[in-house]
Amino acid sequence: MSAFTMEDLFRIMRECAGEEEAVDLSSAAAEQEFSVLGYDSLALMEAISRVERGFGVELPEDTLGEALTPAAFVDAVNAALAGRTPAVEAAG
């Protein structure tokens, strides 16, 4: 599986919670906190669930509390993807 990208995250976030017209989900938004972008913890929980199912990875429970920006979330997903064992990859 290829790396998880900012575009992947923004697509999932739009599917989970929509997008405020005033919010620009572009590379400039990568370092802004999700709360500033208008996404609450429920939207993030749904995003985590979709990422786990779609990318066949299990994210640490503390991801929601520690990945406060899109860039941090993408980093957390890619770290989890890199840490997968071959058995998990074969099953995914």
Distances (CA, A) of 5 to 17, 46, 74, 87: 18, 17, 6, 23
Superfamily of domain 6-91: ACP-like (1.10.1200.10)
For 49-92, write each residue's pLDDT tens digit: 999 999 999 998 888 888 999 999 999 999 999 985 433 333 44
Looking at residue 46, what is its pLDDT? 92
More confident residue, 72 or 26: 72
Domain ranges of the chain: 6-91
Looking at residue 38, what is its pLDDT? 85
Q: Find the angle CA(25)-CA(17)-CA(61) to the nearest 5 degrees.
A: 95
Average pLDDT over residues 27-41: 86
Asked if 78 and 3 count as a contact pair (C-beta separation under 8 A), the reply is yes
pTM: 0.79
Q: Is 13 exposed, middle or buried (0-12, 13-18, 19+ CB in 10 A)?
A: buried
Looking at residue 85, what is its pLDDT? 43
Looking at residue 37, what is its pLDDT? 86
